[in-house]
Amino acid sequence: MKFFIDSADVGEIKTWAATGLIDGVTTNPSLIAKSGRKFTDAIAEICDLVDGPVSAEVTATDVEGMIAEGRALAKIAENVAVKVPLTWAGLRACKTLTEEDTMVNVTLCFSANQALLAAKAGATFISPFIGRLDDVGEDGMALIRDIRAIYDNYMGLETEILAASIRHPMHVTEAAKAGADVATLPPNVFKQLIEHPLTEKGLAAFLADWAKTGQTVPRK
């Protein structure tokens, strides 16, 4: 599974990119607004920090506007993935931009039928929002499983499933088990993936026992 960081904080992204474990970045208008940065400047800087896709969202709601904004965003860097909403206009824009060899992330997916349409439109990524479905009493992970089953039925569909709206580490585990290609994580959730109390307890015990020997390991 590939990991994307869901953030527009350049400093934060730089820190996580340095781990070598990040495959891309997703942003949205809310994250950009929170960062206080000029949109295009932030996207350009983020694209310099990671080699993988950086999702940058259009704000137009009509086909022509989405295509125009998408083309402008794609000029920022080769690794920009234009993010469009899962509407009829968004799907039409997706098809046009895909035909122009631009990566497209179709976002705000809440049903398997929507995901199927996005794949037919040539989306590079489909972003089902797990947490938001859970919030309204639906099973977000069931959507991932349904999309995976449908995509696997048709060899011609190459769209990657990008699990989004992830709230906690168990979402990551379940998304990976369900066959999601990518998980986009808020930095706090990414940090939690490595944490386990038994790891900390075991390390403390090992270090305490080692200290009793009075030895040191040579360092060049």
Kindly state the tokens that stand for 141: 């992970």
Residue 2 annotated among the catalytic residues of the structure = no
Of residues 38, 75, 83, 120, which has the active-site annotation?
83
Residues labelled catalytic = 83
